[in-house]
């Protein structure tokens, strides 16, 4: 699993490394392969790998650690206190007439000391999205607010780097390229039993967590259908580098249709699983815009929705899995809650990811203005529709009747499942997808 640095215009960097292991596989591999003593490594056959930790101190989803654990029997995590790094910074600062103070200890204590010493009125720090770093920043802010200052408490100002972090994974070394796109409120782990299975059947499989969801960054921007569609376009061009079989569930299915309709050369085939979007006969073309409207009502609605999700997520998920409710298990529920919250020591759920409410506000702006039949007609390629007929969010039979009547070149598979057939009956959906891609590649 890797994190893709995306500039604010959502054009991914070309210097991205690809790693082929999911988070669950990473934890399993690490539990057997991380070596404490270097003496033990000498006995390992096939050579060991050293993972050099620098600024990225994550364990979950650390790209280098995942890659090392997936390719080597022995992995030695290493952190080096290299004084030269700070010397370089200190020298550059001195060249500008300044200097670098170096402190050892807890950040909240050391920053409090220096604020008192220099009578600071402001503190500038880079915004963090990783949970542990954010906890440290929270401790610093709490420490500063608990102490009275003669000139008033210093203002804490955060800045953002000009990149967004996008979580994705890739599995497989040969065969057709497949990109899996999740639905609203989900993440790439929702394809937990699809990624490796499809890859093992002779495919190269990418799965992405869209900007604003899961462990991808949640910047304070306006989220629209076009923004997410452009993100997928850029990911296909700059990361995958070739046309793909594009697979999406729920709102992810609509984004798939949008990419196929707007940039058909990037998509071999489109697979829509219980896709959002409507079918409107005789539709006249309008542009899919990147502007959204924000209002106080949307903000209030987002807060109500966030509270509702936290309180009812288990019941909601089980309703989405009517034929196999056991698949809405503790692991999935925990990940869903983690994507909008963090569980603290006081046993209460508190929002911890920046931008959660901004993402949820987008729900009230969604128009899905271009119907599916128009997008699929613009695509002109082959389309597979996988529909869980027990979907509580849509009238499946009516929707399929409209697709059959108004969409050419659409193949439809009806399943005894709910809104997320890929996770409710993964073996069946995997076989349908792999048969489809092989027949159409």
Backbone angles phi, psi at 157, to 5 degrees: -120, 125
Which bin fits 10, alpha (ψ -120 to 50), beta or left (φ > 0)? left
- Look at residue 30 in the predicted model and tell me its pLDDT: 41
Q: Are strands 204-208 and 163-171 parallel, antiparallel or unpaired?
A: antiparallel
- Residue 9 burial (CB count, 10 A): 9
**Residue 259 CB partners (closer than 8 Å, separation 6+):** 229, 232, 233, 236, 246, 266, 267
- Look at residue 348 in the predicted model and tell me its pLDDT: 37
Helices vs strands, H then E, count in the chain: 16, 14
Which bin fits 93, alpha (ψ -120 to 50), beta or left (φ > 0)? alpha
- Residue 85 burial (CB count, 10 A): 12
**Residue 350 CB partners (closer than 8 Å, separation 6+):** 341, 342, 344
The number of C-alpha atoms within 13 Å of 350 and in the hemisphere containing its C-beta is: 8
- Residue 139 burial (CB count, 10 A): 15
pLDDT in tens, the chain (441 residues): 545 555 433 333 322 332 233 344 444 444 434 444 444 444 444 578 888 887 777 676 566 777 787 778 788 888 888 888 888 888 888 988 999 888 889 999 999 999 988 888 889 887 776 667 778 888 999 988 888 887 788 888 877 665 677 889 999 989 999 999 999 888 999 999 999 999 999 999 999 999 988 888 777 777 888 889 999 999 999 899 999 999 999 999 999 999 999 999 999 999 999 999 999 887 766 555 554 555 556 556 656 656 656 666 778 888 899 999 999 888 887 777 766 553 333 333 344 455 666 676 776 666 677 899 999 999 999 999 999 999 998 899 999 999 999 998 899 999 999 999 999 999 999 999 999 999 998
Concatenate the DSSP letters of all residues of 397-432 into one string.
HHHHHHHHHH-TTEEEEEES--S-HHHHSHHHHHHH
C-alpha 374, offset from chain centre: 28
CA-based nearest residue to 383, from 400, 396, 367? 400
Domains and CATH numbers, the chain: 2-79 (no CATH), 99-159 (no CATH), 169-289+365-440 (3.40.50.1820)
- Look at residue 397 in the predicted model and tell me its pLDDT: 95
Helix (H) or strand (E) holding 29: helix 23-33
- Look at residue 425 in the predicted model and tell me its pLDDT: 97
d(C-alpha 282, C-alpha 143), whole Å: 62
d(C-alpha 220, C-alpha 358), whole Å: 6
d(C-alpha 323, C-alpha 416), whole Å: 7
- Look at residue 40 in the predicted model and tell me its pLDDT: 47
**Distance between start and end Cα atoms, the chain:** 26
Instruction: Give CA angle at 32 (30, 37), nearest 5°.
Output: 90
Quickly tell me which residue has 């009125």 as its tokens.
121
Is 208 within 8 Å of 181 (Cβ atoms)?
Answer: yes
For 137, the 3-state DSSP assignment is: helix
- Look at residue 439 in the predicted model and tell me its pLDDT: 95
- Residue 97 burial (CB count, 10 A): 6
- Look at residue 331 in the predicted model and tell me its pLDDT: 84
Burial of 124 (0-12, 13-18, 19+ CB in 10 A): exposed
What DSSP designation does 195 have? H
Backbone angles phi, psi at 415, to 5 degrees: -120, 150
Quickly tell me which residue has 């993100």 as its tokens.
231
């Amino acid at each position: 699993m890797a994190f893709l640095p995306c500039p604010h215009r959502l054009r991914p960097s070309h210097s991205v490394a690809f790693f082929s292991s999911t988070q669950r596989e990473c934890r399993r591999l690490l539990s057997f392969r991380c070596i404490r003593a270097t003496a033990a490594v000498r006995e390992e056959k096939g050579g060991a790998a050293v993972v050099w930790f620098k600024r990225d101190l994550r364990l979950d989803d650390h790209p280098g650690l995942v890659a090392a654990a997936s390719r080597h029997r022995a992995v030695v995590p290493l952190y080096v206190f290299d004084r030269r790094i700070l010397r370089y910074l200190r020298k550059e600062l001195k060249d500008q007439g300044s200097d670098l103070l170096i402190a050892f200890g807890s950040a909240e204590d050391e920053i409090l000391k220096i604020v008192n010493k220099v009578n600071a009125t402001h503190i500038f720090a880079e915004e963090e999205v990783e949970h542990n770093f954010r906890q440290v920043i929270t401790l610093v802010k709490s420490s500063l607010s608990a102490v009275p200052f003669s000139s008033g408490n210093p203002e804490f100002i955060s800045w953002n780097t000009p990149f967004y972090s996008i979580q994705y994974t890739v599995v497989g070394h040969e065969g057709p390229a497949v990109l899996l796109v999740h639905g609203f409120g989900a993440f790439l782990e929702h394809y937990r039993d699809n990624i490796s299975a499809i890859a093992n059947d002779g495919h190269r499989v990418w799965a992405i967590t869209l900007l604003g969801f899961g462990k991808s960054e949640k910047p304070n921007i306006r989220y629209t259908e076009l923004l997410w569609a452009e993100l997928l376009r850029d990911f296909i061009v700059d990361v995958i580098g070739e046309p793909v079989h594009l697979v999406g569930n729920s709102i992810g299915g609509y984004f798939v249709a949008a990419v196929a309709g707007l940039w058909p050369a990037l998509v071999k085939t489109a697979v829509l699983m219980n896709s959002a979007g409507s079918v409107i006969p005789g539709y006249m073309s309008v542009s899919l815009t990147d502007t959204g409207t924000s209002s106080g009502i949307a903000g209030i609605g987002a807060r109500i929705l966030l509270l509702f999700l936290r309180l009812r997520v288990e019941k909601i998920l089980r309703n989405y899995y009517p034929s196999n409710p056991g698949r809405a298990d503790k692991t999935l529920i925990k990940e869903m809650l983690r994507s909008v919250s963090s569980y603290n020591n006081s046993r209460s759920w508190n929002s911890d990811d920046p931008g959660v409410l901004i993402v949820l506000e987008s729900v009230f702006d969604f128009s899905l203005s271009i119907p599916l039949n128009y997008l699929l007609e613009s695509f002109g390629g082959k389309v597979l529709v996988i529909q869980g007929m027990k979907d509580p969010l849509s009238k499946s039979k009516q929707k399929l009747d409209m697709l059959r009547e108004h969409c050419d070149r659409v193949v439809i598979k009806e399943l005894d499942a709910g809104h997320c057939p890929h996770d409710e009956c993964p073996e069946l959906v995997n076989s349908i997808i792999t048969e489809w891609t092989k027949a159409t590649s």
